[in-house]
Amino acid sequence: MRDNIGILFGIAVLPIIAFVGATVDHTRAHSARSSAGRDR
């Protein structure tokens, strides 16, 4: 039973990590775009 919990937790963590990574990437791209627009 304990092994199943570990496997399920590992599978559940992957989309969470992907979502956090996509959010960070989107935030950095948005801030870079807005700062590039300010320089003009």
Digit-coded pLDDT (tens) for 1-30:
677 999 999 999 999 999 999 999 999 999
pLDDT greater than 60 at residue 33: yes
Measured CA to CA, the distance from residue 38 to residue 27 in angstroms comes to 17
The answer to whether residue 18 is domain-embedded is yes
The answer to whether residue 39 is domain-embedded is no
**Domains held by the chain: number:** 1
Measured CA to CA, the distance from residue 23 to residue 17 in angstroms comes to 10
Strands (E), 1-40: none
Measured CA to CA, the distance from residue 22 to residue 25 in angstroms comes to 5
The answer to whether residue 37 is domain-embedded is no
The answer to whether residue 1 is domain-embedded is yes
The answer to whether residue 22 is domain-embedded is yes
The answer to whether residue 21 is domain-embedded is yes
39 confidence band (pLDDT: 50, 70, 90): low
The answer to whether residue 34 is domain-embedded is no
The answer to whether residue 14 is domain-embedded is yes
Domain encompassing residue 1? 1-29
Which residues have C-beta within 8 Å of that of residue 33, sequence separation ≥ 6? Answer: none
